[in-house]
Amino acid sequence: MEDFEEIYRTYFTAVWRYTLKLTHNESLAEEITAETFFRAMRAMSSFRHQSSLHSWLCAIARNIWLDQVRQNKKFADISDTGMMRIPDPVNSPEQAERRRQVQEVLEAAGKLREPYRTVFLLRYVDNESFREIAARYEKSENWACVTAHRAKEMVRKETEQDEE
C-alpha cells in the first residue's frame, strides 16, 4: 500500500491536469482523477508494464471520461445536472453543428478497440506527436503513424454510417 501512496503522490497532479484538459471542468476532473486512482489501486496487480505508469493512469482516466461521454448523450452543464458538456456556449447554428460533429467523433472513437482508441485520442484530442505516442507504447514512430491513420479511418467510416 505504501508503494501506491507514492504513485498517487507522484502522478496525481499530472493525471488531474490531463482530465482537466479533457473535461474543461475542475470538479469533474477531480472526480475522474479520484476514480482513476481507485481503479488503478484495484487493478495494480494486472499492470503489465507495457507502457509507462503515467500512460496507464491517463488511459484509465480517458476511459472513465469516455464512459461518461457515452452515457450522457446530451451534454449539459455539470453544475445543473451532473452531466458533462463540451465547453463554450453555442451562439450560432454553425457552432451547434460543430459541437454535434465533435460529439459524434468522440463517441465513434470511444467504440474503437485498443490500441486504436487510445492512439486516436492521443493524436487527435491531446495533439501528441507520433514520437510521443510511439514512446508510450515502446513502438516505432511509423507504428504510431499507421495506427493513428487506421484509427482515423475507422472513426470516419463510423461517422459516415451514422449519417446514412
Which of 32-36, 50-54, 152-156 bottoms out in mean pLDDT, i.e. has the lowest?
A: 50-54
At 162, the pLDDT band (50, 70, 90 cuts) reads low
CB 37 within 8 A of CB 15: yes
pLDDT digits over 50-81, tens only?
677 888 888 889 889 888 877 764 343 333 33
Does this model's pTM top 0.75? My answer is no
The band of 93, judged by pLDDT with boundaries at 50, 70 and 90, is: confident
The position carrying cell 503522490 is 9
Residue of 70, 62, 67 lying closest to 15 (CA atoms): 62
The structural domains of the chain, ordered by start, are 1-87 (1.10.1740.10), 93-164 (1.10.10.10)
Q: Contact at 8 Å (CB) between 73 and 97?
A: no
How crowded is residue 1: how many other Cβ atoms within 10 Å of its Cβ? 5
